[in-house]
């Protein structure tokens, strides 16, 4: 695949997933311990007993966060959370993290302590150990790269590729709030830059800010599924937006889907603020991203086991591949889903 | 530890190891599976059968490499190698890597392919699987963060803290060559910047360039130790320089050491080029870094098993902690060792 390197293809023409797809083709797993490689929330390896899961996420200043409105302690917390969320999305239990950071001389020890305090708070809260890392310097911003390890019994692991026709599509919590929190922070930053004496106006929007700045991985939902005796047929966490994630499930399961606009769980605050910003709340829910909720599919026979759970919404069902991926809106129009969520490489 | 954050301590006043030491104090391992956390080449976790080892390293453009003289394919190869070297330094076998990279729009797909081609070549050569990763954008340079996983039987793992008094200090290969390779590349870059029509002069120095641009992790030495029935009492890989690394072993083992200048393995090319650059070859060997050789201690009773191995040099012995860490030079003068090796945070 790498033989003809005379051409120049802009990365922006592929996007992150295009690039990953492209690069993955050259990768072949050789070790019997490597059970699952690229293409899911976490890799799966075999170290003898339980299966071991590995996932990594990199957060780059100016791309993933803005220190003007991301307090370092929250950033540390969130950087752990996005990785744990990937382990939970495999129906596994996170156990360890290793943390690599690069920082410029803008950062004092106290700043790094704040960052780590947030990381350690997250680790404590989720019973995860920080077992190693690398600390180095950068010429410009802060870069945080975290790898999380988790374990699961082989039978418990839920991949993205197991969705069956007629399975119900479920999502935890509500969607679009983290995105609206970000819009709010950006607006207040703009106001501040124009007039530093104006105090930011966040009143009444704590929920949206918290969803953006201090998300929680849905460990509780994994426990709830277990308690209710439900093993999803496919699962993924929502980091890039619902539309993008359901399409990952459909692509890997070789299926289609129908989502019902009327069923999308959107908090009233998200709805109101989206309107205030002249945004369509449904688009925010579909493409906002950073929700860190779990999106999963279950067999219809499991419906009764989850129907009364307040924090789980059934938002659609899986169809045949040929039927494609659609949203049925409130006026019964079908629109093809597009993954317009967060794509770091498209923002070039 | 994080309560009083009103002060500002410059990170440069701590350096990387100071920072790690400082931050580590706040970290407590809770999971029974987390056998070894921060403070060695890799963490050790228990996933049921064999022990699992994890290590992570971040390479930042402009800090760890210069794309003017680091071809991307070599850089990919080296970025894997520095991680595998950490796993071998635990006397373990690397099995998987996960790769997170951030890149700016300077990079084309072809450039990324070159980088991955190098990584995959390294993986193939060392029978390691690339099982996952994260690809994102950066505002400026290229950042590569790799985590390697390996396995070992609990009894085989060699930590840094096991050196005993009178143990012999051994090192594989030769030292200082990667550092001289870097000096050469820097000189030719300078010449090129001043006059782009001048061809670089690398003749006869292939060995030094290769040591800098395409280092190899010493898998062969781990195999040789096993074959000869030797389990080191302590081991570390040399990334930051011999002096820095032996002091890590001594600190963690609560011992002192004597190194003999006359025993340091220095290749003739390294020696000659150091002289040409008006550098002391011994200082290059002690503090150059990036050798990715293995430094280990063995019981005197194992001496016979290794004495005829051409690629292993016995360069000193372990003493009592009170005796400190010294180099005995060729005129029998003792000089206290100082870790003047590579420290990313000191270069601020």
pLDDT in tens, B259-304: 999 999 999 999 999 999 999 999 999 999 999 999 999 999 999 9
Write down the H helix ranges in A127-230. Answer: 177-194, 206-213, 219-227
Give one DSSP letter per residue of A107-140, joined into a string. Answer: -BHHHHHHHHHHHHHHHHHTT-EEEEEEEEE-SS
Q: Which of B50, B139, B38 is nearest to B94 (CA)?
A: B50
Q: Residue A134 and residue B345: Cβ atoms within 8 Å? A: no
Give the C-alpha separation, A97 to B31, whole Å.
12
Q: Where in chain B is the domain with CATH 3.30.1330.10?
A: 41-156
Q: What integer is the mean pLDDT of B329-335?
A: 93
| Chain A residues with beta carbon closer than 8 angstroms to that of B48 | 47-50
Give the C-alpha separation, B122 to B133, whole Å.
16
Per-residue pLDDT band for B224 (boundaries 50, 70, 90) equals: very high
Which residues have CB under 8 Å from A331's CB, separation 6+? Answer: none
| Residue from B36, B147, B346 whose CB has the most chain A CBs within 10 Å, to mutate | B147
Q: Which residue has the higher pLDDT, B105 or A281?
A: A281
Q: Where in chain B is the domain with CATH 3.90.650.10?
A: 168-347
Write the CATH number of the domain with boundaries B168-347: 3.90.650.10
Q: Could you tell me the two tokens for B59?
A: 């390479």
Q: Which of B217, B209, B156, B141 is nearest to B181 (CA)?
A: B209
Homologous superfamily of A46-156: PurM-like, N-terminal domain (3.30.1330.10)
For residue A2, what pLDDT is reported?
Answer: 40
For residue A347, what pLDDT is reported?
Answer: 43
Residue of B nearest to A142 (CA): B138
Q: Is the pLDDT of residue A5 over 50?
A: no
| ipTM confidence | 0.84
Give the C-alpha separation, B231 to A124, whole Å.
36
| Chain B residues with beta carbon closer than 8 angstroms to that of A147 | 54, 56, 98, 100, 147
For residue B16, what pLDDT is reported?
Answer: 55
For residue B19, what pLDDT is reported?
Answer: 57
Give the C-alpha separation, B236 to B230, whole Å.
15
Alpha-carbon torsion (B21, B22, B25, B30), positive or negative: negative
How far CA B125 is from CA of A151, B60, B151, B217, in Å, comes to: 28, 24, 18, 11
Distance to chain A for B106, nearest Cα, Å: 9
pLDDT digits (tens, 9 = 90+) for B28-72: 555 555 555 454 544 455 556 677 888 888 999 988 899 988 999
Q: What integer is the mean pLDDT of A94-118?
A: 84
pLDDT > 90 in chain B, percent: 55
| Chain A residues with beta carbon closer than 8 angstroms to that of B108 | 8-11
Give the C-alpha separation, B224 to A54, whole Å.
31
Q: Where in chain A is the domain with CATH 3.30.1330.10?
A: 46-156
Smallest Cβ–Cβ distance between A33 and the set B33, B95, B141 belongs to: B95
Q: Residue A30 and residue B129: Cβ atoms within 8 Å? A: yes
Q: Residue A52 and residue B50: Cβ atoms within 8 Å? A: no
Query: What is the four-CA torsion angle of A152, A155, A157, A160, rounded to 10 degrees?
Result: 170
Q: Is the pLDDT of residue A198 over 90?
A: no
Cα-only R_g, chain B: 20
Q: Could you tell me the two tokens for B111?
A: 């450039």
Q: Residue A26 and residue B1: Cβ atoms within 8 Å? A: no
| Chain A residues with beta carbon closer than 8 angstroms to that of B136 | 16, 58, 60, 63-64, 344-345
The pTM (predicted TM-score) of the whole model is 0.85
Q: Answer yes or no: CATH 3.30.1330.10 is held by domain B41-156.
A: yes
Report, in this order, helix, strand and coil percent for chain A, each rounded to 5.
35, 25, 35
Q: What integer is the mean pLDDT of A16-22?
A: 59
| Chain B residues with beta carbon closer than 8 angstroms to that of A140 | 139-141
Give the C-alpha separation, B299 to B305, whole Å.
11
Q: Residue B147 and residue A56: Cβ atoms within 8 Å? A: yes
| Residue from B6, B20, B29, B56 whose CB has the most chain A CBs within 10 Å, to mutate | B56
Q: What integer is the mean pLDDT of A236-252?
A: 92
List B317's β-bridge partners, or say none.
B168, B258
| Residue from A145, A153, A289, A344 whose CB has the most chain B CBs within 10 Å, to mutate | A145
Q: Residue A134 and residue B58: Cβ atoms within 8 Å? A: yes
Q: Is the pLDDT of residue B336 over 80?
A: yes
Q: Residue A23 and residue B113: Cβ atoms within 8 Å? A: yes
Smallest Cβ–Cβ distance between A37 and the set B7, B58, B132 belongs to: B132
For residue A1, what pLDDT is reported?
Answer: 37
Alpha-carbon torsion (A25, A30, A32, A37), positive or negative: negative
For residue B1, what pLDDT is reported?
Answer: 37
């Amino acid at each position: 695949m790498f033989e003809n390197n005379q051409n120049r293809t802009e990365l922006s023409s592929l996007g992150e997933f295009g690039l990953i797809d492209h690069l993955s083709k050259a990768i072949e797993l050789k070790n019997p311990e490597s059970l699952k490689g690229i293409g899911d929330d976490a890799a799966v390896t075999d170290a003898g007993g339980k299966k071991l899961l590995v996932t990594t996420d990199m957060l780059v200043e100016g791309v993933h966060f803005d220190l003007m409105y991301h307090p370092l302690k929250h950033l540390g917390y969130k950087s752990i959370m996005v990785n744990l969320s990937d382990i939970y999305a495999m129906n596994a239990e996170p156990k360890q993290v290793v943390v690599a950071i690069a920082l410029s001389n803008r950062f004092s020890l106290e700043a790094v302590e704040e960052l780590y305090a947030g990381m350690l708070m997250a680790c404590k809260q989720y019973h995860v150990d920080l077992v190693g890392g690398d600390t180095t310097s950068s010429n410009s911003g802060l870069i945080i790269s975290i790898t999380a390890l988790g374990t699961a019994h082989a039978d418990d692991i839920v991949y993205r590729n197991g969705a069956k026709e007629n399975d119900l599509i479920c999502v935890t919590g509500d969607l679009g709030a983290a995105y609206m929190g970000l819009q709010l922070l950006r607006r207040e930053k703009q106001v501040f830059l124009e007039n530093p004496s104006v105090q930011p106006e966040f009143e009444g929007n704590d929920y949206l800010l918290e969803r953006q700045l201090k998300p929680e991985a849905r460990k509780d939902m994994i426990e709830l599924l277990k308690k209710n005796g439900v093993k999803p047929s496919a699962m993924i966490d929502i980091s890039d937006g619902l539309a993008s994630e359901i399409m990952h499930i459909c692509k890997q399961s070789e299926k289609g889907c129908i989502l019902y606009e009327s069923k999308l769980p959107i908090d009233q605050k998200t709805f109101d603020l989206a309107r205030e910003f002249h945004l369509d709340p449904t688009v925010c829910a579909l493409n906002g991203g950073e929700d860190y909720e779990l999106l999963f599919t279950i067999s219809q026979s499991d419906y009764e086991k989850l129907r009364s759970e307040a924090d789980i919404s059934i938002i659609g069902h899986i169809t045949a591949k040929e039927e494609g991926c659609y949203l049925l809106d409130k006026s019964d129009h079908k629109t093809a889903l597009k993954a317009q969520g967060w794509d770091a490489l498209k923002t070039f």
